[in-house]
Amino acid sequence: MFGLSELAIILIVVAAVLAVKKLPELTRSAGKSARILKSEARAARDADEPGTPRVIQGETVEREDPGTGTGTGRRG
């Protein structure tokens, strides 16, 4: 007859075999949840510091002749 330890080992093996099919889905879901949690924590931290300026990445555009407003460098 089976003892308690043998029965526990059998149940663990059966659960592992059944869980293998769901493992990729579970890890994908855990990764998505971690990314959401991280972004929400970052947003909450940024909201707590209202005095800090936000830097928005972009590119600098230089005009040839700033007086015309057209940026072509030619007048008239």
Structure tokens that stand for 31 in this block = 């990764």
Q: Give the per-residue pLDDT at 9.
A: 92
Question: Within 13 Å of residue 74, how many CA atoms lie on the same side as its CB?
Answer: 2
Instruction: Give tens-digit pLDDT for 11-66.
Output: 999 988 888 888 888 889 999 999 999 998 888 887 766 666 666 677 776 767 65
Report the pLDDT averaged over residues 7-14. 92
**What does the pLDDT read at residue 3?**
83
Question: With contact defined as beta carbons under 8 Å apart, do 72 and 64 qualify?
Answer: yes
Distance CA 7, CA 14 (A): 11
| Per-residue model confidence (pLDDT) at position 70 | 56
24: alpha, beta or left, given left = phi > 0 and alpha = psi -120 to 50? alpha
